[in-house]
Each structure stands twice: as C-alpha cells, then as structure tokens.
Amino acid sequence: MAASSLIIRPVRPDEHAQLGDLTVRVYADILGHHLGDYAEVLRDVAARAGACEVLVAVDGDGSGDDADGRARPLGGITYVPGPGPWAEVATRHEAELRMLVVDPAAQGRGVGAALVRACVERAAAAGKAGVCLVTTPSMVSAHRLYDRLGFVRRPERDRRLDDGLLLECYSLALPVPS
Ligand SMILES: CC(C)(COP(=O)(O)OP(=O)(O)OC[C@H]1O[C@@H](n2cnc3c(N)ncnc32)[C@H](O)[C@@H]1OP(=O)(O)O)[C@@H](O)C(=O)NCCC(=O)NCCS
C-alpha cells in the first residue's frame, strides 16, 4: 500500500470497536504492566470522539476493506482541541495529540506521519500557536516520527504518573497567522 492511497478522515461510529481494539492491542505491547485501567480508556473511542476529533487512516484503494466492503482502520489519532479533561499537557493556545496508533501490519508506510500531519493541519486551521503531546520512553518509533516532523523535546513539561511511568512532552510551534 502506498501512502498516496491513504485517506485520513473522522472515525465513524461503526469503526469505534475496531479502533478501540487496535489501540488496546498495540499499547498493551508497548506499555506492558503500565497499561492497567488505561486499557478501558483506550478502548472507549465513543467517549473521546464525543469531546475531541478522532481521525482514522483507511486505504483509499479498497485493498484493506473487510468482507462486507467496509474500510478497515489502519490506525487512528485523537486531536484534543485544547486544555480540558482529555488533555495531559496542553496550554490555552495549544492543541494536543493523543492515542496515536498504527496497526503493526501497516507500519513503516507513512500512516503514522499522515495522521500526525492531519492533526497539525487542523491545529493550524484553528489558529493554534502550537501542538503538544506526551509519549513514553518505550515509544521509540514515535519519537523518531515526532523528530522528523519538527517536534521538539520539552523535558521541563514532562510528568510522572503515580505508577512511575514518565510522560515525555514534545511540542511543535506553528507559524503565527498573518
Ligand atoms: C509510532 C507509530 C504510530 C508510527 O506509525 P507508522 O505508520 O509506522 O509511522 P511511519 O510509517 O510514518 O514511520 C515509521 C517508519 O517508516 C518509515 N517510512 C515511512 N514511509 C515509508 C515508505 N514509504 N517506505 C519506507 N519506509 C517508510 C519512516 O521513515 C519511519 O522510519 P523510522 O522508524 O526508521 O524512523 C507506530 O509505530 C505505533 O503505532 N507505535 C505504537 C504506539 C505508539 O508508540 N504511539 C505513540 C504514542 S505517543
């Protein structure tokens, strides 16, 4: 699948379960025992889609469709428009990216980059000054992706959870609209 056949669009309600399952599966691999109750938050796509924008990547050429002809989400991301219950670190003028995930079978083809870019474009269109996110030390592929897209590591904005897991902050400044 070439990245050019990708479509990035809002998740549909009939895809919530699939995206929730995918997100839990991939995060369980990478977070191990730190996953805990967070699995249920990750699974509940409907909850975050009600307050944020949840985007999915699907194959535009139909090659990833299931037996019923429905496009299967290859990955997803949550665009949090600003501070609030869904944000970890966003300040007033920032949007935050959360729960980025790509099916392991579709990784390494630009899906993750396309999802992040779509959110950055939304933030720019909304007049945000920047975009931020938190990641964890084991998410090394994601770190390379953020570096490549121009995000900057912001250790002064890191947080540590009660179970000891370090949330590492990255941010991207957006051009001031003229
Ligand atoms: C992080 C993650 C979303 C990246 O998704 P992805 O679709 O594989 O991302 P991309 O394809 O854009 O980039 C991954 C690699 O493929 C390479 N790539 C992208 N398009 C390519 C292409 N057409 N041909 C060859 N390589 C390509 C990239 O250069 C990158 O290489 P690198 O890892 O050596 O730097 C995915 O690994 C994932 O789900 N990880 C687990 C969850 C996670 O860590 N989420 C982040 C939360 S903060």
Q: Domain map of the chain by residue range?
A: 3-173
This prediction's pTM: 0.95
pLDDT bin (cut points 50, 70, 90) of residue 60 is confident
Nearest to 11 by CA among 62, 75, 69, 54: 54
What CA–CA distance (Å, rounded) separates 63 from 172?
34
Q: Which fold has domain 3-173?
A: Aminopeptidase (3.40.630)
Q: Is the pLDDT of residue 154 over 80?
A: yes
Q: Is the pLDDT of residue 149 over 80?
A: yes
- The pLDDT, as a whole number, for residue 69 is 77
- The pLDDT, as a whole number, for residue 143 is 98
Average pLDDT on 30-36 reads 94
The residue whose CA has the least distance to atom 22 of ligand 1 is: 109
Q: Residue 32 contacts by C-beta under 8 Å, 6 or more apart in sequence?
A: none
Q: Is the pLDDT of residue 134 over 80?
A: yes
- The pLDDT, as a whole number, for residue 68 is 76
The residue whose CA has the least distance to atom 9 of ligand 1 is: 112
Average pLDDT on 106-122 reads 98
Would the CB of 76 count as within 6 Å of ligand 1? no
Ligand 1 pocket: which of 58, 102, 115, 134 to mutate (most atoms <8 Å of CB)?
102
SS3 category, 20? helix
Would the CB of 30 count as within 6 Å of ligand 1? yes
